[in-house]
Amino acid sequence: MIYVTPQQITFTDQLLLKSGAALSPVTVVYETYGKLNADKSNAILILHAFTGDAHAAFYHEGASKPGWWDDMIGPGKAFDTDKYFMICSNVLGSCKGTTGPSSIDLKTQKPFALHFPLITIQDMVALQKKLIDHLGIRKLLSVAGGSMGGMQAITWAVMYPDMVHSSIVIAACHGHTAQQIAFHEVGRQAVMADPDWQGGDYFGKALPGRGLAVARMIGHITYMSWISMEQKFGRKLQDKEKLGYDFSKDFEVESYLQYRGQSFVERFDANSYIYLTKAMDYFDLSEGKKLSEVFKGVTADLLVISFTSDWLYPSSQSQAMVRALKANDVDVSYLEIKTDYGHDAFLVEFDDQTRMISNYLTKVVRERVSRI
């Protein structure tokens, strides 16, 4: 068992946000795995998804479970910590240590709640850049992430082309579509319809747990696929031999969703939920331009991965990115991995992802770093 201790840094200068607002001070919680080499050329930044955190791999002291992508990060794994120095930081707006709406506003000495400025994927990346600068790393070997992490990975390649040799974009998109926004809006409305929401100012009081649980239940449905739900639950009954003909739990899938909703309330803040979903909904790299125009400055080598049964971030969105990158002569590789696990596949399908990513990183090192 390898242990890791979270670290943190507070930046006191202003972080200028895409909205025009500014934020300071900003604290970032991060973890690192493996060793940074002498010329600092082996650093890879891992970008977590919506409700993830900086704890991507290894174990915290006394914990029974490792980090969320431990199957992918470690000695001999896809992101081989014997070769690479891995960094993962919690995103801006989250509730897992980095500054977010549940952090204390120094002006009022109370949690920001809805006084926290609206944030974007670009703002998350801008803060990550500050961290990378702070660590003295001029150019990352790679940035990699799935889902919201993938949105950050492609954004890194667009915003800071001189700072990334490669970018690994998994189960992501270049901009949220109406359907993606719609699911998030239902989640936000569920949170805000909870009487305990209280305009976001619930700190020290009852949490808007019912609303947040419903939001998470909806989210979970979108992360699975029709077939994975059929295989996992089908019409199986929960603690029952026959239908109850009442509104208590009949089906296993009901019980599962309720359990996942409830356990989510214990680990995630409702304000962060609505801020981060909004950040994803605001995400649109093209902003009215042609995507191929947006990717003009991209110099990184790109690896794009999508999953056949992912209907939340369907392959067509990844393919649109690949096409626009190709139109700009970017070195891009793309694979659609066959799986029944839906959007969640990036947290489940380790064999195929490992085979792609470990070999891809070897290629990037050979082509981009050894030449420098």
Partner 1 sequence: MIRLDYEIIADIIEPGAKVLDLGCGDGELLSLLKMKKNCRATGIEIAAEQIFKCIERGVSVAQGNIDSDLDVYEDKRFDYVILNESLQQVVNIEKVLNAALRVGKKVVVGIPNFCHFRARLQIFFLGKVPVTKSLPYKWYNTPNLRFLSLDDFREFCSEKNISIEKACYLAAGKKVSVLPDLFADSGLFVLHHA
Q: Which helix (H) or strand (E) holds 368?
A: none
User: Are the C-beta atoms of residues 246 and 235 closer than 8 Å to each other?
Assistant: no
Among residue numbers 6 through 45, which ones bind partner 1 (CB under 8 A)?
none
CB atoms within 10 A of CB 73: 25
Q: Which is nearer to partner 1, 112 or 307 (CB)?
A: 307
Q: Segment contacting partner 1 (CB under 8 A): 200-208, 230-238, 242-250, 350-358?
A: 350-358
User: Are the C-beta atoms of residues 174 and 109 closer than 8 Å to each other?
Assistant: no
Q: Which is nearer to partner 1, 262 or 308 (CB)?
A: 308
User: Are the C-beta atoms of residues 98 and 92 closer than 8 Å to each other?
Assistant: yes
User: Are the C-beta atoms of residues 221 and 230 closer than 8 Å to each other?
Assistant: no
Q: Does 362 bind partner 1 (CB under 8 A)?
A: yes
- 105 among known catalytic residues: no
Q: Which is nearer to partner 1, 190 or 332 (CB)?
A: 332
Q: In this chain, which of 37, 255, 286, 319 binds partner 1, going by CB under 8 A?
A: 319
Q: In this chain, which of 198, 258, 262, 333 binds partner 1, going by CB under 8 A?
A: 333
Q: Does 346 bind partner 1 (CB under 8 A)?
A: no
Rounded to whole angstroms, how far apart are CA atoms 1 and 261?
A: 30
Closest separation in Å from C-beta 281 to partner 1 = 28
* Residue 269 φ/ψ, nearest 5 degrees: -90, 135
Rounded to whole angstroms, how far apart are CA atoms 329 and 324?
A: 9
Q: Does 290 bind partner 1 (CB under 8 A)?
A: no
Q: What angle do CA 173, 66, 153 make, to 5 degrees?
A: 20
- 147 among known catalytic residues: yes
Q: Segment contacting partner 1 (CB under 8 A): 17-25, 73-81, 230-238, 335-343?
A: 335-343
Q: Does 336 bind partner 1 (CB under 8 A)?
A: yes
CB atoms within 10 A of CB 201: 14
Rounded to whole angstroms, how far apart are CA atoms 66 and 60?
A: 7
Q: Does 337 bind partner 1 (CB under 8 A)?
A: yes
Closest separation in Å from C-beta 56 to partner 1 = 23
- Token pair, residue 269, equals 């803040």
Q: Which is nearer to partner 1, 143 or 303 (CB)?
A: 303
Which residues are designated catalytic?
Answer: 147, 310, 343
Which stretches of the chain bind partner 1, using CB under 8 A? 292, 301, 319, 322-324, 326-327, 329, 331-338, 352, 355-356, 359-360, 362-363, 366-367
